[in-house]
Amino acid sequence: MSQQPDDRVLGFPAFPPSRRRGGGRPARWWARAWLAASEDTLLSRDLLTRGRRYANAGQVGSITITPGQATAPVHDGDPDAPHRTSVLVEPLTDGEWDRFLDRAASRAGYVAGLLARDLPRELVSALEDAGVRLAPGIADLVPECSCPDSGFGCVHAAALCYQVGWLLDPDPFRLLLLRGRGERELLAELPHRTADGWAGHACAADAVASDPARPAQPGVPAAHAYAQPVPPLPPPPPRPAPVGSLEPPVAAAAARARALLQGDGGAGSVTQ
């Protein structure tokens, strides 16, 4: 029996030099949150500028993402003399993952979003209400490097943070891996958290488990995962039987009311 690759260790080839890549911000909110946390952590404007320049120039080698950290060699211009650089992130606890899975499985739309490689804002709000924060905030990132400036003044860590943001943009499961768990184990667990065992949709998790080398994009479109045939409309209800005209009793009631208002009749004159 062949052993499946461990999806808790993801490797990505080095980005080639590109002046255009660093010109815009990531499109997805979780990647923007990562970069905001990186820039809040590495407070020096000069450091951030130099780190972005290193990232755009392709001075970061292949990046490895594992639970709790992203690691890569980063050089100062000599690829044969790189520094080993890491950015550490606190993984979620087992209790926080339980709450994540319970909330994610509570609505079909949340599962559909994950299968479409999205983190729905409504799910994130529900998680925050449950005390689970996915995107790192200020002071949540810890840079480490083999260079003399290791720590919060390290340009190599700044460059790595920018490129990790590029990697997170198309696929939120990379952020979830940084937070501690891989894609296959999460998708395999979701059906067990639903009332119906995710009936009819467990095949999506099975596909991930059976084909770990599948490309990250575009994933399983939500429209395919959750589209159901529309049943035919029921026949219209039978028309009600005709009833007698309401005009006579309405007219009689109006006459009695007029008599009461004019003082021509008392309460006893109104028949029951």
Which residues, listed in sequence order, are joined to residue 144 by a DSSP beta bridge? Answer: 86
Closest by alpha carbon to 222, among 79, 110, 134, 54? 110
Rounded-to-integer distance, Cα 1 and Cα 210, Å? 13
> What tokens appear for 205 in the block?
């998790």
Q: What is the pLDDT of residues 208-251, one digit of tens each?
A: 444 444 444 444 444 444 444 545 666 766 665 555 555 666 66
Instruction: Summarize pLDDT for 112-137 with one digit per residue, the tens.
Output: 999 999 999 999 999 999 999 998 88
51 touches 159 (CB < 8 A) = yes
Query: Please, what's the largest Cα pairwise distance for the chain?
Result: 112
**Chain Cα centroid distance, residue 57:** 30
Q: Residue 272: which H helix or E strand, with range? A: none
**Highest mean predicted confidence (pLDDT) among 75-79, 197-201, 232-236:** 75-79
> How much is the pLDDT for 55?
95
DSSP one-letter code for 60: B
Mean predicted lDDT score pLDDT of the chain = 80
